[in-house]
Amino acid sequence: MEEREWREYERRVVETVKWCEDRKESPLVWAMEVGKLASRVPSPELAQVLVSHLCFLHNRPSLWKFLEQSLSSGILFPLQVLSLLSSRVIPNRRSQPEAYNLYLELLSRYGLSFAPLPPHASVEKFVSSSLHTVTKPRVSVRGLILNEDLNAILSR
């Protein structure tokens, strides 16, 4: 994808998510609307846009619920999303403990779900956007959310 096409794709994805959020749609509707923008499913490009633009610029529980819905519906590769999140969440785990705990919940749900890649998937893009190593996180007791609370947030 050319640079101009990439910027347009990013703009359309962010605009669609904001439109769904403004209309107070459920995360399932968000996933369906954003999934329409993907050229193929699961979409490595969509994962890059969602993690880089949405999860940290607008860090709200509704966006994490949307991300979880996109993972569970097969729109995104779980391993790729977890890898992209690792490089952003782990270094900021002390300053953003809620995001870190939500990341750990997604990791526990999808960390070992290695679904086979479809034959038309771009393995090269998938691998290049994924991290090769994931560091073992350390959890500080102060400011953490209990797993029951995380499940409640992600299941709403």
Cα-based distances in Å from 141 to 18, 60, 93, 135, 146: 34, 22, 12, 19, 10
The residue-averaged pLDDT of 132-148 equals 42
Pair 50, 13: CB distance under 8 Å? yes
Task: Say if residue 108's pLDDT is above 80.
Answer: yes
Residue by residue, DSSP assigns 8-54 as HHHHHHHHHHHHHHHTT--HHHHHHHHHTT-SSSS-HHHHHHIIIII
Of 86 and 128, more confident: 86
End-to-end Cα distance, the chain = 35
Residue 57 has pLDDT above 60, yes or no: yes
Residue with tokens 């640079």: 3
Domain of residue 64 covers 3-155
pLDDT score for 83: 92
Q: What is the C-alpha to C-alpha distance for residues 31 and 152, in angstroms, rounded to an integer?
A: 19
- Taking CA 76 as the corner, what is the angle to CA 72 and CA 77, rounded to the nearest 5 degrees? 95
Q: How many domains does the chain have?
A: 1
CA quadruple 22, 85, 118, 155: dihedral sign: negative
